[in-house]
Amino acid sequence: MRETLFKGRPHPSNGFRLRGHEIQRIETFSDGVFAFAVTLLIVSLEVPKTFEELLISMRGFAAFGICFTLLLLVWHEQHVFFRRYALGDQTTIVLNAMLLFIVLFYVYPLKFLFSLLFSDQIYGRGKNPFSINQDQMPQLMVIYGLGYMVIYTLFALMYLHALRRRSALELTDAEVFDTRSKVFAHGILIAIGAGSILLAMILPGRMAGLSGWLYMAIGPAFWVYFTRRGVRRRRLFEGGKG
């Protein structure tokens, strides 16, 4: 997949020079881990033996689709990082290994959360095989939030490491600006995850699931943030053109 995406793209992407001209072993290994993570999302499903079981499996498409999309977003962020910086030093390897570990570790909590969310639509009311008490909901939301925060903390550390290596990478001033923008963007994601955890701990057990709605703030927050950063970037690096 990486080869297909990168084919014919040795030139700048969105004003950022791509340094990863070839797929590294660390990326090949990462792709295998992400593929295994996707497999874990469906490995517990058995081949339907009746038409009713087939319908139940098909109704589970929404939960699977959300989990798959979240994994794909993490994969894409990692893909962008290695295309831009092509780092393969020990620090990058360690941070990437930690990222892959968290991705694998959180596959089942992720699957449990969204299967629980759509359980009545999938299995019908009163036939939900997933069990959770109201007083356990805060713990579930905290577990999800912690995994979310750790993943984007690791991405922020990877981009900070790229900033420390800016001389060796020969980053331009615009590329340094974009790298810092990525660090701050991941900081926003970390803050939203922390806010969701705080809400889950404060709200009554039966209402703890509402803390998940805070993640809907990502879209508006990113729109405001990247709009402002885009304006500043144009003023700093494109103001003298034309």
Distance CA 203, CA 179 (A): 36
Residue 6's pLDDT is: 47
Distance CA 158, CA 19 (A): 16
Is there a contact between 19 and 7 (Cβ–Cβ < 8 Å)?
Answer: no
Residue 56's pLDDT is: 65
pLDDT tens, N- to C-terminus, the chain (242 residues): 555 544 544 455 567 888 876 777 888 888 899 998 888 877 655 666 777 767 666 666 777 888 899 999 999 999 999 999 989 899 999 999 999 999 999 988 888 887 777 666 556 565 555 666 777 888 888 999 999 999 999 999 999 999 999 999 999 999 999 999 999 999 999 999 999 999 999 988 778 888 889 999 999 999 999 999 999 998 888 764 43
| Nearest CA-CA partner of 29 in 68, 67, 2 | 2
| Nearest CA-CA partner of 37 in 9, 95, 78 | 78
Beta bridge partners of residue 16, listed in sequence order: 13
